[in-house]
């Protein structure tokens, strides 16, 4: 009986039709920082990915290969677009742009309600984005050497859950 209860709990968390409120809409956000950038020219404000970064971008596409994504958003920088492109292409999606400073989070949540979305940003913008989605200041800026954090935010009805993973 305990196994059945645990199974039903897990089903309820992943499939709203089995949760207490069967009318609840599920929205899932996956947020990552861009992959490793070319640092050969410190003056370059819009560098491309380096070889390691392109490999990581392909790895991200493998991480998301079995996730049914509805949209992919990036800032308008080479490194974020290049990080998102393999995943977007494998899902036959066009990359949409957002402005990391001028984004209206409430409008974004409204427009993406019921969808599964990948968001690619920067060490200082992704934690802010996650904090805005969850409504609290929980996550700090990502270390400049860290390109492996994955944040997952799920909204089901009025409930919000979040987790931070490290994908090496």
pLDDT in tens, 138-161: 999 999 999 999 999 999 988 999
CA distances from 125 to 12, 13, 41, 90 (A): 32, 28, 22, 25
The overall pTM is greater than 0.95: no
What's the rounded Cα separation, in Å, for the pair 154 and 15?
12
Domain residues of the chain, as ranges? 23-166
Residue with tokens 């409008």: 107
Q: What's the fold here for domain 23-166? A: Rossmann fold (3.40.50)
């Amino acid at each position: 009986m305990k196994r059945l209860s645990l199974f039903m709990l897990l089903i309820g968390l992943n499939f709203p039709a089995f949760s207490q409120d069967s009318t609840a809409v599920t929205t899932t956000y996956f947020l990552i920082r861009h992959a490793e950038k070319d640092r050969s020219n410190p003056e370059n404000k819009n560098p491309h990915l380096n070889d390691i970064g392109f490999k990581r971008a392909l790895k991200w596409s493998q991480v998301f290969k079995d996730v049914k994504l509805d949209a992919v958003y990036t800032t308008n920088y080479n490194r974020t677009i290049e990080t998102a492109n393999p995943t977007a292409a494998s899902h036959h999606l066009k990359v949409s742009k957002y402005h990391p400073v001028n984004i209206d989070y409430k409008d974004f949540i409204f427009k993406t309600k019921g969808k599964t979305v990948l968001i690619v940003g920067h060490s200082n913008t992704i934690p802010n984005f996650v904090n805005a989605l969850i409504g609290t200041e929980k996550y700090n800026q990502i270390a400049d050497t860290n390109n492996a954090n994955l944040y997952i935010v799920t909204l089901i009805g009025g409930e919000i859950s979040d987790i931070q993973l490290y994908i090496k």
